[in-house]
């Protein structure tokens, strides 16, 4: 589970490479607002929870990044390092 919150940027996004996730929008819903998606875009002060796992993936690096170029250029891109359990 990953909590995603945009505090100061007017808009931002999160793209998960090579997997999909369920998204729970702000509020108290226990049912995913969106299912089996790979990108979410949020406006300022919006928040939500992303639920995903890599149990069926091979070990390796799986990138996630924003689609706003100015943030990517500032380093808003990283990898989940999936290892054998
Ligand atoms: Cu992308």
The alpha carbon of 31 and the centre of ligand 1 are apart by a number of angstroms equal to 25
Q: In tens digits, what is the pLDDT along the chain, a chain of 85 residues?
A: 776 666 778 899 999 999 999 999 988 889 999 999 999 999 988 889 999 999 999 999 999 999 988 888 888 899 999 998 7
The alpha carbon of 40 and the centre of ligand 1 are apart by a number of angstroms equal to 10
Q: Is the separation of the CB atoms in 51 and 3 below 8 Å?
A: no
The alpha carbon of 57 and the centre of ligand 1 are apart by a number of angstroms equal to 19
Kindly report the CATH number assigned to the domain that includes residue 25. Answer: 2.60.40.420
Helix (H, G, I), strand (E, B) or coil at 71: helix
Q: Is the separation of the CB atoms in 20 and 62 below 8 Å?
A: no
Number of domains in the chain: 1
Q: How many residues does the chain have?
A: 85
Residue 29: which domain range? 2-82
The alpha carbon of 43 and the centre of ligand 1 are apart by a number of angstroms equal to 17
pLDDT number for residue 4: 65
Residue burial 17-39, b: 16+ Cβ < 10 Å; e: rest? eeeebbbbeeeeeeebeeeebeb
pLDDT number for residue 9: 82
Residue with tokens 């793209």, as numbered in its chain: 15
């Amino acid at each position: 589970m990953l909590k995603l919150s945009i505090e100061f940027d007017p808009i931002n996004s999160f793209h998960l490479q090579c997997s999909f996730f369920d998204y729970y929008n702000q509020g108290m819903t226990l049912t995913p607002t969106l299912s089996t998606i790979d990108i979410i875009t949020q406006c300022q002060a919006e928040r939500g929870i992303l639920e995903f796992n890599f149990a069926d993936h091979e070990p390796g690096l799986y990138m996630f990044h924003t689609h706003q170029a100015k943030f990517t250029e500032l380093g808003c891109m990283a990898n989940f390092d999936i290892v054998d359990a």
